[in-house]
Amino acid sequence: MAEGGLHSRFRLAREIAEEASSFLLSHESLRLSTRTKAENDYVTEADRAVEGMIRQSIGRAFPGDPVYGEEFGGDTGGRSRWIIDPIDGTVNFMTSFPDYTVSIAYEDEHGLAFGVVAVPRQHEVFSAFRGEGAFLNGSQIHTDESGDTSRTLALLVPPHRHHEMLDGYIVRMRRFYEIISDVRSIGSAALSLCYVACGRASMYYETALHIYDCAAGIVIVREAGGMVTLLSDDEAWLDIAASSAAAHRKMLETIDG
Ligand code: IPD
Ligand code: CA
Ligand code: CA
């Protein structure tokens, strides 16, 4: 696809993310209508409503574009497709914890082309287009490349849906405490990646993600100067390590032990 076509999709993605944010802020009561999809995995009326809105807007502007989304599925393997997660951080949304996001990405034959992550409660929108840098509310952002990680945060997410993996997580977390100041887990993969991109954290590690959790955030980290390693290649089970470029080798060694 010509760059012009990609850029118009990028513009649309930013508009949709803003619309979805306004919708979520004015419909937070939908957090109360919740269904369980799998163990420790929930969906609210808002997740479905927002994915429906996003699909409609894409379909109106670019009829025929394949879309892969968490709630209504779709194109899992195509080379050119939208990848959307209407609410990344559903448990946060359900519990009124403010860190939930709307995540929209586009992938073409060269890989991930752009990503937009909106954070309604914070009134923040992170975005990046391949080769053009990463931005937070229009200002360019960069990973923290100071090199000294001893005063930084690592976002290490417990395997909350795979409790049999918790012991390994705790051993790894102990190793991380040798190289960083403290650990957080903020409940949204997309937001975690954005926080690495803008230097609020220097590292993010999580296992067993889906591509829609992290596609937009991956572009944003890379365009902010950071590095992302996918330690598995199944888009329904992605183990992901993201960090500043300066800290990446140290991070991978810490994961491996
Ligand atoms: C979840 C969030 C969470 C991560 C989970 C994801 P959802 O997505 O990204 O941070 O730990 O693994 O499934 O269910 O809120 O869209
Ligand atoms: Ca998600
Ligand atoms: Ca979701």
- Report the chain's mean pLDDT, rounded to a whole number: 94
Query: Tens of pLDDT along 77-113?
Result: 767 999 999 999 999 999 999 999 999 999 999 999 9
Q: In this structure, what DSSP letter does residue 187 have?
A: S
| Separation of CA 188 and ligand 3 centre (Å) | 9
Angle between helical axes of 211-223 and 189-197 (0-180°, round to 10): 10
Q: Which of 34-43, 82-91, 100-109, 147-156 has the lowest mean pLDDT?
A: 34-43
Q: Are residues 137 and 164 in the same domain?
A: no
Does pTM top 0.85 for this prediction?
A: yes
- Residue 157's domain comprises 149-256
| Separation of CA 74 and ligand 1 centre (Å) | 19
Tally of CB atoms within 10 A around 5? 12
Q: Are residues 8 and 112 in the same domain?
A: yes
| Separation of CA 88 and ligand 1 centre (Å) | 6
Instruction: Work out the pLDDT band at 231, boundaries 50, 70, 90.
Output: very high
Residue nearest to atom 11 of ligand 1 (CA): 187
Q: Are residues 15 and 96 in the same domain?
A: yes
Query: Tens of pLDDT along 201-222?
Result: 999 999 999 999 999 999 999 9
The conformational region for residue 12 under phi > 0 = left, psi -120 to 50 = alpha, else beta, is: alpha
Question: For residue 39, what is the domain's CATH number?
Answer: 3.30.540.10
Q: Are residues 132 and 53 in the same domain?
A: yes
| Separation of CA 248 and ligand 1 centre (Å) | 23
Q: Are residues 199 and 72 in the same domain?
A: no
**What pLDDT is recorded for position 2?**
73
Q: With a cut of 90, say whether residue 76 has pLDDT above it.
A: no
Kindly give the number of the ligand 1 atom that is closest to the alpha carbon of 188: 10
Read off φ and ψ for residue 166, nearest 5 degrees. -65, -35
**What pLDDT is recorded for position 78?**
65
Q: Are residues 104 and 125 in the same domain?
A: yes
**What pLDDT is recorded for position 29?**
85
Q: Are residues 26 and 132 in the same domain?
A: yes
**What pLDDT is recorded for position 40?**
77
Residue nearest to atom 16 of ligand 1 (CA): 88
Q: Which residues of 62-83 are buried (b: 16+ CB within 10 A; e: fewer)?
A: eeebbbbbbbeebbeeeeebbb
Kindly give the number of the ligand 1 atom that is closest to the alpha carbon of 93: 15
Query: Tens of pLDDT along 4-23?
Result: 799 999 999 999 999 999 99
Q: Are residues 96 and 46 in the same domain?
A: yes
Cα distance between residue 68 and residue 213, in whole Å: 12
Q: Are residues 128 and 179 in the same domain?
A: no
| Separation of CA 2 and ligand 3 centre (Å) | 30
Kindly give the number of the ligand 1 atom that is closest to the alpha carbon of 160: 11
**What pLDDT is recorded for position 33?**
81
Kindly give the number of the ligand 1 atom that is closest to the alpha carbon of 90: 15
How many domains are there within the chain?
Answer: 2
Tally of CB atoms within 10 A around 93? 27
Coil vs helix vs strand at 49: helix
Read off φ and ψ for residue 148, nearest 5 degrees. -90, 110
Among 99, 117, 141, which residue terminates a domain? 141
Instruction: Work out the pLDDT band at 165, boundaries 50, 70, 90.
Output: confident
Looking at the CA of 238, name the nearest ligand. Answer: 1
Among 114, 141, 168, which residue terminates a domain? 141
Q: With a cut of 80, say whether residue 75 has pLDDT above it.
A: no
